[in-house]
Amino acid sequence: MTYRALKTEIETGPLADECAGKSDAEIADILNDRRFTGVRSRFVTARTILAEVPGGAAILDKLDAAAPAIPDLKWAMRFIAGETGIDIGHAGTRANLEALLEMGYTAMSRAEIAGIGTITHQDVAQALRG
């Protein structure tokens, strides 16, 4: 999401009335609570992970290193490296991520997986005031 699109969502989207007059942190909480309830389809690439997930490079490195030994991950990494990405919300993708967590690939935590695309108060400030 671009800052321009985020500004439009805050000012004129379905949650605009609820966001009006709130602090940046309150707006971020409102948007995250309403927009990211439940798992949704979202295609992410390595670029998305680097931009939105703390420690994204380390996570990608660990996944890349594990990929040769895990066929599902090997193929997923090909999509993540490409322009189309992989659907992080798809049940099969989430099951594969859960399996990696259970295998001990703890560089990628459940919070990081769920947090891709979370809006911060800094994102709100940048969108509204540059």
8 A C-beta contact, residue 66 and residue 105:
yes
Half-sphere exposure of 85 (CA within 13 A, CB side): 13
Q: For position 113, what pLDDT does the model report?
A: 59
Domain regions of the chain by residue span: 3-39+119-129, 43-115
Q: Is the dihedral of CA 62, 64, 65, 71 positive or negative?
A: positive
Beta bridge partners of 43: 87
Q: For position 70, what pLDDT does the model report?
A: 87
pLDDT under 70: residue ranges of the chain: 1, 35-40, 104-118
